[in-house]
């Protein structure tokens, strides 16, 4: 079973975390199952960018991003070449290192209309 290292994030995972996750599960579900409460404003339907993560190691082992995901990522805060929406990134058989960006774009939680 692949090991996933979540780097420390001030609000969601202050001490970081190391978990094992079965192949075939999305990164978002792995985080939620392990009490890392990443935002997922669209309920994991690939319609927002609140679950954006940076895959620091193991990026190429994940499933390929869809065109819809790629289009949404263009709107994500802190976009990098290793960016993925965690609700769409499916764990394979390789260990991963994941960074949760400091900020997210969520108008509802930020008081937007």
Backbone angles phi, psi at 25, to 5 degrees: -95, 145
Structural domain count of the chain: 1
CATH number of 7's domain: 3.10.20.30
**Within 10 Å of residue 87's Cβ, how many Cβ atoms?**
26
pLDDT tens, residue by residue, 31-47: 999 999 999 999 999 99
pTM metric for this prediction: 0.91
Backbone angles phi, psi at 96, to 5 degrees: -130, 155
pLDDT at 87: 98
Identify any residues that bridge with 97 across adjacent strands, giving them in sequence order. 5, 57
**Within a domain: 66:** yes
pLDDT at 106: 59
Please give the residue range of the domain that contains residue 32.
1-105
113 pLDDT exceeds 80? no
């Amino acid at each position: 079973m692949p090991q996933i290292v979540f780097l420390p994030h001030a609000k969601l995972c202050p001490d970081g975390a190391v978990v094992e996750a079965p192949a075939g599960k999305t990164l978002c579900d792995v985080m939620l199952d392990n009490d890392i409460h990443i935002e997922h404003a669209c309920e994991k339907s690939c319609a927002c960018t609140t679950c954006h993560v940076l895959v620091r190691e193991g990026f190429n082992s994940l499933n390929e991003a869809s065109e819809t995901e790629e289009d949404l990522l263009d709107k994500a805060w802190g976009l990098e070449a290793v960016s993925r929406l965690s609700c769409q990134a499916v764990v394979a058989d390789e260990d991963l290192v994941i960074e949760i960006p400091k900020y997210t774009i969520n108008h509802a939680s930020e008081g937007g209309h």
